[in-house]
Structure 1
């Protein structure tokens, strides 16, 4: 953990990783790193947008607002509600990252969590307790996923 991270125990949304119905192993918790506001802003500005602070504000020039970015839309809510811990099929098939690939789950400009692809894959439901437009990206990969409150998500390629 670096100074860019907040200890998970001090993260204001830590309950999402301590929910009794969706337990996260201690080993996985040790690999979930909420970023400080400053570090979150740096990640957001570099990889998401230097114009807006929330996904619902994307505009011309933001890669996520471009029509050709998103290639497929599907529903995550039914997979989230099911007993099956697996990622929704479209995401699992579209994103083929290495297990240890660094990923960022970006709620907004001030709230970003760093982890690995395999930790996100196992615990994706916990991350989506807050579903107000978060984006999943990996800095060294072009694929991305964008989740919305209506229970849908889009997968596409950052450009």
Structure 2
């Protein structure tokens, strides 16, 4: 179900000194096998498209009904700053999630990470080296977010 993080070609993002990821957090970042990643992708993201670049208006995250009241938030300015916490709007959007909520950081149908919300909040800067459209979803949760390389994140609600 999982494979070592070293199997990920960009595993260096988790081993940098800036941002530094503590060893106990690193141990809780799991990389799914391609098969399991594909299943999570189909269940939570899309059973039609294999990569965020291919999303269409038929995919849930592109629908108007999936947009949060304030649908776009700038993440890059805080990412570039000394501030370590997520942008406030993101924290507010996911306010109902406990630190132990299982989350999936979904880059494409073969690359999905599993971790807890608490670990993501502490390590988000490393994950956003992968900013080409990944979708963050919570297990059995409605709230979601899609990060874009233009420095913006779309705050979303998944359909049932």
* Residues 6-29 of structure 1: per-residue CA shift (max 9 Å, x gap): 112333221110012111011001
Q: For 1:44 and 1:37, how far apart are their aligned partners in 2? A: 10
In the TM superposition, what are the counterparts of 1:115-154 in structure 2 within 5 Å?
115-154=115-154
Q: Secondary structure at the match of 1:115?
A: strand
* Runs of 4 or more above 6 Å deviation: none
Following TM superposition, by how much is the alpha carbon of 1:60 offset from its aligned partner in structure 2, in angstroms?
A: 4.0
* Residues 100-142 of structure 1: per-residue CA shift (max 9 Å, x gap): 1100000111111000000000000000001100100012110
For the 8 Å contact 1:8–1:29, the answer to whether it is kept is no
Q: Are residues 1:5 and 2:25 paired?
A: no
* Residues 48-73 of structure 1: per-residue CA shift (max 9 Å, x gap): 00000111211243211212212220
Q: Which residue of 2 aligns with 1:98?
A: 98
Structure 2, gaps ≥5 residues long: none
Structure 2 length normalisation: TM-score? 0.94
Q: Which residue of 2 aligns with 1:36?
A: 33
- Alignment RMSD, CA only? 1.0
